[in-house]
Amino acid sequence: MTDSDNVNWEEIANEILKKENITNIFTYPKPTSANIYWKNDFYIGAIQEIVPEFSKEIVLLSKSSMHYPEELAQVLRRLDPGRIELFADDNLDLEGRQCVVRRIDDKIVHMTTEQTMFMMNYPMKIFEIS
Protein backbone atom coordinates (compact mmCIF):
# COMPACT_ATOMS: atom_id res chain seq x y z
CA MET A 1 0.00 0.00 0.00
CA THR A 2 1.37 3.42 -0.96
CA ASP A 3 0.57 6.89 0.37
CA SER A 4 -1.46 7.65 -2.76
CA ASP A 5 -3.83 4.73 -1.97
CA ASN A 6 -5.29 6.74 0.93
CA VAL A 7 -5.83 9.95 -1.03
CA ASN A 8 -9.26 11.05 -2.23
CA TRP A 9 -8.22 12.11 -5.76
CA GLU A 10 -11.78 13.04 -6.72
CA GLU A 11 -12.02 15.57 -3.89
CA ILE A 12 -8.64 17.05 -4.81
CA ALA A 13 -9.56 17.19 -8.50
CA ASN A 14 -12.84 18.96 -7.72
CA GLU A 15 -10.96 21.59 -5.70
CA ILE A 16 -8.47 22.10 -8.54
CA LEU A 17 -11.27 22.47 -11.09
CA LYS A 18 -13.12 24.93 -8.85
CA LYS A 19 -9.99 27.09 -8.48
CA GLU A 20 -9.27 26.91 -12.23
CA ASN A 21 -12.80 28.07 -13.04
CA ILE A 22 -12.53 31.05 -10.69
CA THR A 23 -9.06 32.01 -11.95
CA ASN A 24 -10.03 31.64 -15.62
CA ILE A 25 -12.74 34.29 -15.23
CA PHE A 26 -10.05 36.90 -14.58
CA THR A 27 -7.43 35.66 -17.05
CA TYR A 28 -6.86 37.08 -20.53
CA PRO A 29 -6.44 35.63 -23.01
CA LYS A 30 -8.71 32.82 -21.84
CA PRO A 31 -6.65 29.77 -20.88
CA THR A 32 -7.31 26.19 -21.88
CA SER A 33 -6.82 23.80 -18.96
CA ALA A 34 -4.41 20.95 -19.58
CA ASN A 35 -2.83 17.83 -18.21
CA ILE A 36 0.83 18.30 -19.06
CA TYR A 37 3.34 15.47 -19.35
CA TRP A 38 7.05 16.27 -19.25
CA LYS A 39 9.98 13.99 -18.46
CA ASN A 40 7.62 11.16 -17.51
CA ASP A 41 5.82 13.29 -14.92
CA PHE A 42 2.31 14.80 -14.82
CA TYR A 43 1.71 18.51 -14.14
CA ILE A 44 -1.46 20.57 -13.86
CA GLY A 45 -1.55 23.56 -16.16
CA ALA A 46 -3.01 25.61 -18.96
CA ILE A 47 -2.07 27.21 -22.24
CA GLN A 48 -2.94 30.59 -23.74
CA GLU A 49 -2.51 31.75 -27.32
CA ILE A 50 -0.54 34.96 -26.87
CA VAL A 51 0.20 36.19 -30.42
CA PRO A 52 -2.46 34.59 -32.65
CA GLU A 53 -2.06 37.37 -35.23
CA PHE A 54 1.52 36.15 -35.81
CA SER A 55 1.31 32.43 -34.95
CA LYS A 56 -1.37 30.38 -33.23
CA GLU A 57 1.38 27.89 -32.36
CA ILE A 58 3.06 30.22 -29.85
CA VAL A 59 1.51 29.72 -26.42
CA LEU A 60 2.15 30.65 -22.84
CA LEU A 61 2.36 27.39 -20.91
CA SER A 62 1.56 27.74 -17.21
CA LYS A 63 2.12 24.67 -15.08
CA SER A 64 2.31 23.55 -11.50
CA SER A 65 5.74 23.75 -9.93
CA MET A 66 5.51 20.17 -8.73
CA HIS A 67 4.39 17.00 -10.45
CA TYR A 68 1.48 14.85 -9.31
CA PRO A 69 0.56 11.17 -9.42
CA GLU A 70 -1.11 9.81 -12.54
CA GLU A 71 -4.20 8.96 -10.45
CA LEU A 72 -4.99 12.67 -10.27
CA ALA A 73 -4.62 13.04 -14.04
CA GLN A 74 -7.09 10.19 -14.57
CA VAL A 75 -9.69 11.81 -12.31
CA LEU A 76 -9.22 15.25 -13.90
CA ARG A 77 -9.63 13.65 -17.34
CA ARG A 78 -12.91 12.06 -16.23
CA LEU A 79 -14.33 15.14 -14.46
CA ASP A 80 -13.26 17.64 -17.13
CA PRO A 81 -13.74 16.07 -20.57
CA GLY A 82 -12.80 19.36 -22.27
CA ARG A 83 -9.37 19.33 -20.67
CA ILE A 84 -6.57 18.77 -23.15
CA GLU A 85 -3.50 16.58 -22.77
CA LEU A 86 -0.12 17.94 -23.82
CA PHE A 87 3.15 16.07 -24.17
CA ALA A 88 6.25 18.23 -23.86
CA ASP A 89 9.58 17.46 -25.50
CA ASP A 90 11.96 16.27 -22.77
CA ASN A 91 14.64 18.60 -24.17
CA LEU A 92 12.61 21.68 -23.23
CA ASP A 93 13.42 23.56 -20.03
CA LEU A 94 10.05 23.76 -18.29
CA GLU A 95 11.40 24.17 -14.77
CA GLY A 96 9.67 27.54 -14.41
CA ARG A 97 5.96 27.89 -13.84
CA GLN A 98 5.46 29.85 -17.06
CA CYS A 99 7.17 29.29 -20.39
CA VAL A 100 6.62 30.52 -23.93
CA VAL A 101 6.64 27.47 -26.19
CA ARG A 102 5.32 26.11 -29.46
CA ARG A 103 2.23 23.89 -29.53
CA ILE A 104 1.63 21.54 -32.43
CA ASP A 105 -1.54 19.53 -31.77
CA ASP A 106 -0.85 17.71 -28.47
CA LYS A 107 2.92 18.31 -28.57
CA ILE A 108 4.88 21.08 -26.84
CA VAL A 109 8.17 21.72 -28.65
CA HIS A 110 10.82 24.38 -29.27
CA MET A 111 9.75 27.43 -31.23
CA THR A 112 11.08 27.93 -34.74
CA THR A 113 13.86 30.46 -35.29
CA GLU A 114 11.31 32.86 -36.81
CA GLN A 115 8.97 32.48 -33.81
CA THR A 116 11.85 32.98 -31.37
CA MET A 117 12.99 36.13 -33.19
CA PHE A 118 9.43 37.50 -33.11
CA MET A 119 9.16 36.93 -29.35
CA MET A 120 12.59 38.54 -28.82
CA ASN A 121 11.51 41.59 -30.83
CA TYR A 122 8.12 41.80 -29.08
CA PRO A 123 8.66 40.56 -25.53
CA MET A 124 5.59 40.11 -23.40
CA LYS A 125 4.95 40.98 -19.80
CA ILE A 126 3.36 38.40 -17.57
CA PHE A 127 1.40 39.57 -14.55
CA GLU A 128 0.50 36.89 -12.06
CA ILE A 129 -1.95 37.79 -9.35
CA SER A 130 -2.19 35.38 -6.44
What would the pLDDT profile of 97-128 be if each residue is shown by its tens digit? 999 999 999 999 999 999 999 999 998 887 76
**Domain membership of residue 81 as a residue range:** 6-121
Note whether residue 71 is domain-resident: yes
Q: The whole model's pTM is what? A: 0.89
Strand partners, 62: 46, 98
The closest of 89, 91, 33, 92 to 64, measured between CA atoms, is: 33
Alpha-carbon distance of 69 to 97, in angstroms, equals 18
Note whether residue 127 is domain-resident: no
Peptide bond into 29 cis (omega under 30): yes
Taking each helix axis from N to C end, the angle separating 9-25 and 70-79, rounded to the nearest 10 degrees, works out to 60
Note whether residue 93 is domain-resident: yes
Note whether residue 19 is domain-resident: yes
Alpha-carbon distance of 120 to 113, in angstroms, equals 10
Note whether residue 126 is domain-resident: no
Count of domains for the chain: 1
pLDDT digits (tens, 9 = 90+) for 28-46: 889 999 999 999 999 999 9
Note whether residue 128 is domain-resident: no
